[in-house]
Amino acid sequence: MLDPVPGNDGVRNIRQEQARTRRDGATGIAASREPAITRGNGEIDLYDGIWPTNFHKGLPHDRFGRPDPVAFGALQAGLSRSDAPAGLYATFNVALGPLGEAGANVAAERAGAAQGFEPVTRFHTVLADGRALSVRNWESPLAGHAYDLEGPDAGDVGMAPAPTLIGGELIAEMGEVYALALLRDTPFERWADTGTPVTVDGHTFGTVGDILGELGRLDFLDPDGKPGAGDGTGALGPGETRRRAARWDGRSGPTARTVFRGSSPGAMAGPYLSQFLLIGSGGDGGRTAATDAKDVRYLCPVAAPGGGGPAGAAGGYIAYGAQRIDQRISTALPGLDHMTDWTLWLDVQNGAGVAGSDTFEKGGMPRFVGTPRDLATYVHFDQLYQAYLNACLLLLAYDVPFDFGLPSGKGHLTRGSFATFGGPHVLALLTEVSSRALKAVRRQKFQHHLRGRPEQLAAMLTLAANAPGALGAARADTVAALDALRTHAPNLMAMIARRNARQNAARADRSRGIFPATTGAGAGFAPAEDANYLLPMAFPEGSPMHPAYGAGHAAVAGACVTVLKAFFELSPNEVTRPGLSQTLPAARAVDDQWWRMATLAERLRLRNVYVPPADPWAAALDPSGEWLPRDLTVEGELNKLAANVSIGRNMAGVHFYTDYFESLRMGERIAVGILQEQMTTYPDPCSMRVPSFDGDRLLISTTGRGDAALDVIGGDAGEWWGRHLAQGAFV
């Protein structure tokens, strides 16, 4: 009879005892990691009463966008749970929105009254889908207090302090989101030509080269500039230095080949968009859907909706069991931006629930992502792990083997991978690490940094230009930041003011049907037309109702891409003679052949690198005339995917570059921690090789006896865990 060893026989339940030992071992690994000490940048205590760089969206604000100070204090207390000890329900009774609006919370913690939304928004009390306008509430503000039973606790990972008003980094980040707002409708594939005109809603604001030139003169982005540190010392800290260098290819400053790209190996190579955001399953590696009709790995319906459309990589359809996923998206209307009017901005800052009033292109089929606005639309509506689920399905469809350090799969003669080390395992793990990353990043957002969104800082710069006295204690530093932008990038700032003026004129034209329209009524304050530096937003509601730092999309990207890099074999090598034991000894040398990264030609067997079609409504992708599959690696395209999705949020105007850079790396550590602890559960020796976002070679391994090790080949694991916490004098 079957009698598993070890088992439970009622006399001595050995299996249960060993299960507890291994669970305790995973707990010991988690407890052995040095917990992160996270510190904010100090600005929440520096600009009391104004808080120009802190998040307070949803609180009542006065006509200058300054938050109710009593409510802001209550927000801080509620986020800290100082009024709700463990075991007691946290009521989170914080003033929310204007008095008298549906969904508002009056609360006692309110110094003054914000009486209703202004006429710009109140003119339309019903959204396009029939919902009544109401106040938005904060998204999972206390999730960072929850605990986890697997992987690093949310309190054990951290991020460096966010950039400050003084120093050059935040000024550069603001310049970047202004530039991206202007570039929203310029196709990615035309960025390489610096002479490409930047046209929005029929008006040309200059060329791609003009905008890059403006950015390149900002001290932080100029290799020869003197940006100054955020701590006022003049010398950049390690975090600032890393983030500055990550934007360049060598020391050339922002170029059409490097600007707004990712910070990891391969992210600056090839076309801007990752192949994993574009291609479909199968049919491009010497095989076709027709010749392999019986091969489930290439199961992908040939015909597109309405007929026509090729199968395979260029068709953009991903096999999802007997169904398919279309890489095309419904696209937002080009040329339409939001929150360019002060009164409308103030309504949204007060929590006006205008989400769902997006305007989409009419009369066209969904199309491939091709512009920053398209990518912003993708990350507006995606499920956070969606892009990585699709990438995993593509890797499975192209028959990319699992890591040869695992005890089953192609490297093993008799044991295939499924429940463990197979498709169900890795697909489930993507959602698992996502949930952990979201809780950890919420703790950074709400409980540590409370960093304001770009839309808020843009409003403070607008105040600095029009009513600097309203900035109180923050006046000098905010005016200095504005002066730096207007001195080094004067044309960029003039373009933004001109863009806002044109958008506001369009809103005032009722025949355009833009929601919500401008009524002519104001909030009691209106900036001069040539000094309106509000950030044109891709989303009607602007940012989500949670702080900027860290970024949820980026933390999830870091966690999910790390899982994909750990599970799939990224080297071009093969195990030619499958065996009955572990097939690959742990690769512990820097120059080991198993650390060389496979190209798209070697692992996916692609014949072409693909770009969005020149005709945006075409049924298939275009082959790139410049790049070949041997030029790009699978690792690089996964890193690029993480960057595309994360920086796509910057293109919408809701995040800064730092939010992407630091959150990505925190997500990576969460995934590595979970993978390491899972190693304690496996009864066989096995290992996973993970090339990190910083180019480290991480090795996660076990002997099968309940142990689990993390090695950084050629480096130190302790240094790797804490590398991104410190930033100069803040620590």
113-137 residue pLDDT tens: 788 888 667 665 565 566 667 899 9
What H or E segment, with its residue span, contains residue 32? helix 14-32
pLDDT at 302: 37
pLDDT at 258: 87
Report the distance separating Cα 401 and Cα 577, nearest Å. 14
Picking from 689, 188, 131, 133, the residue whose alpha carbon sits closest to that of residue 403 is 689
546 part of the active site: yes
Query: What is the mean predicted confidence (pLDDT) over 32-51?
Result: 92
pLDDT at 131: 64
Query: What is the mean predicted confidence (pLDDT) over 694-715?
Result: 96
Report the distance separating Cα 197 and Cα 202, nearest Å. 11
425 part of the active site: no
pLDDT band for position 305 (cuts 50, 70, 90) = very low
512: CB partners within 8 A, 6+ apart = 506
pLDDT at 394: 97
Residues shown for the chain = 731
Query: Is 203's pLDDT higher than 70?
Result: yes
705: CB partners within 8 A, 6+ apart = none
Q: Can the peptide bond before residue 550 be classed as cis, meaning omega within 30 degrees of 0?
A: yes
The alpha-helical segments, DSSP class H, found in 350-453 are 372-381, 386-397, 423-442
1-10, 348-357, 492-501: least confidently modelled range: 1-10
Sequence letter at residue 239: G
pLDDT at 291: 35
Query: What is the mean predicted confidence (pLDDT) over 184-199?
Result: 95
Look at 583 and 672; give whichever has higher pLDDT: 672
Picking from 354, 359, 355, the residue whose alpha carbon sits closest to that of residue 332 is 359
pLDDT at 5: 85
Query: What is the mean predicted confidence (pLDDT) over 7-24?
Result: 90
Q: List, as one string, the DSSP characters of 165-225.
A: SSSSHHHHHHHHHHHHHHTTTS-GGGTTSTT-EEEETTEEEEEHHHHHHHHHTSTTTSTT-
pLDDT band for position 730 (cuts 50, 70, 90) = very low
pLDDT at 127: 58
112-126, 313-327, 627-641: least confidently modelled range: 112-126
Query: What is the mean predicted confidence (pLDDT) over 417-426?
Result: 97
Q: Can the peptide bond before residue 6 be classed as cis, meaning omega within 30 degrees of 0?
A: yes
Q: Could you tell me if 333 and 540 are in contact, meaning their C-beta atoms sit under 8 angstroms apart?
A: no
Query: What is the mean predicted confidence (pLDDT) over 636-642?
Result: 98
pLDDT band for position 331 (cuts 50, 70, 90) = very high
Query: What is the mean predicted confidence (pLDDT) over 585-592?
Result: 81
Checking DSSP bridges between strand 686-691 and strand 323-326, what pairing results, if any? Answer: unpaired
Query: Is 268's pLDDT higher than 50?
Result: yes
Q: Could you tell me if 585 and 623 are in contact, meaning their C-beta atoms sit under 8 angstroms apart?
A: no
User: DSSP letter at 156?
Assistant: T
381: CB partners within 8 A, 6+ apart = none
Report the distance separating Cα 124 and Cα 132, nearest Å. 9
Query: What is the mean predicted confidence (pLDDT) over 101-108?
Result: 87
pLDDT band for position 283 (cuts 50, 70, 90) = low
CA distances from 574 to 209, 633, 634, 650 (A): 45, 16, 16, 40
358: CB partners within 8 A, 6+ apart = 332, 380, 539, 540
Query: Is 297's pLDDT higher than 50?
Result: no
- The tokens describing 367, both together, are 């199309």
Side-chain-facing half-sphere of 573: CA atoms under 13 Å: 16
pLDDT band for position 8 (cuts 50, 70, 90) = confident
Report the distance separating Cα 88 and Cα 81, nearest Å. 10
Residue of 412, 546, 655, 724 marked active site = 546
pLDDT at 313: 95
Decide: helix, strand or coil at residue 600: helix
pLDDT at 116: 84
Query: Is 209's pLDDT higher than 60?
Result: yes
Q: Could you tell me if 497 and 530 are in contact, meaning their C-beta atoms sit under 8 angstroms apart?
A: yes
Residue of 56, 553, 655, 724 marked active site = 553
Query: Average per-residue pLDDT in the chain?
Result: 90
Q: Could you tell me if 361 and 543 are in contact, meaning their C-beta atoms sit under 8 angstroms apart?
A: no
pLDDT above 70 covers what percent of the chain?
92
Decide: helix, strand or coil at residue 715: coil
- The tokens describing 709, both together, are 């090790």
Report the distance separating Cα 407 and Cα 270, nearest Å. 35
**For residues 492, 496, 498 and 499, what is the CA-based torsion angle, rounded to 10 degrees?**
130
Report the distance separating Cα 430 and Cα 563, nearest Å. 7
Query: Is 178's pLDDT higher than 80?
Result: yes
Q: Can the peptide bond before residue 516 be classed as cis, meaning omega within 30 degrees of 0?
A: yes
pLDDT at 727: 55
Q: Could you tell me if 90 and 583 are in contact, meaning their C-beta atoms sit under 8 angstroms apart?
A: no
Residues 272, 273, 275, 278: is their CA dihedral positive or negative?
negative
pLDDT above 90 covers what percent of the chain?
74
- The tokens describing 236, both together, are 């950049």
Q: List, as one string, the DSSP characters of 290-307.
A: TTTTT-GGG---SSPTTS
pLDDT band for position 54 (cuts 50, 70, 90) = very high
Look at 274 and 99; give whichever has higher pLDDT: 274
What tens digit of pLDDT does each residue of 332-368 get?
999 999 999 999 999 999 999 988 888 898 776 799 9
83-92, 138-147, 360-369, 646-655: least confidently modelled range: 83-92
Picking from 294, 304, 299, 305, the residue whose alpha carbon sits closest to that of residue 283 is 299
Report the distance separating Cα 148 and Cα 436, nearest Å. 7
Q: How far apart are the first and last CA of the chain?
A: 62
pLDDT at 729: 31
What is the value of pTM for the model shown? 0.94
Picking from 452, 449, 477, the residue whose alpha carbon sits closest to that of residue 67 is 452
- 228-266 burial, b for 16+ CB within 10 Å, e for fewer? bbbbeeeebbebbebbbebbbeeeebbbbebbbbbbbbb
Report the distance separating Cα 436 and Cα 441, nearest Å. 9
pLDDT band for position 253 (cuts 50, 70, 90) = confident
Query: What is the mean predicted confidence (pLDDT) over 407-426?
Result: 95
pLDDT at 522: 67
Query: What is the mean predicted confidence (pLDDT) over 673-691?
Result: 96
Query: Is 330's pLDDT higher than 70?
Result: yes
Query: Is 286's pLDDT higher than 60?
Result: no
313-317, 412-416, 497-501, 588-592: least confidently modelled range: 588-592
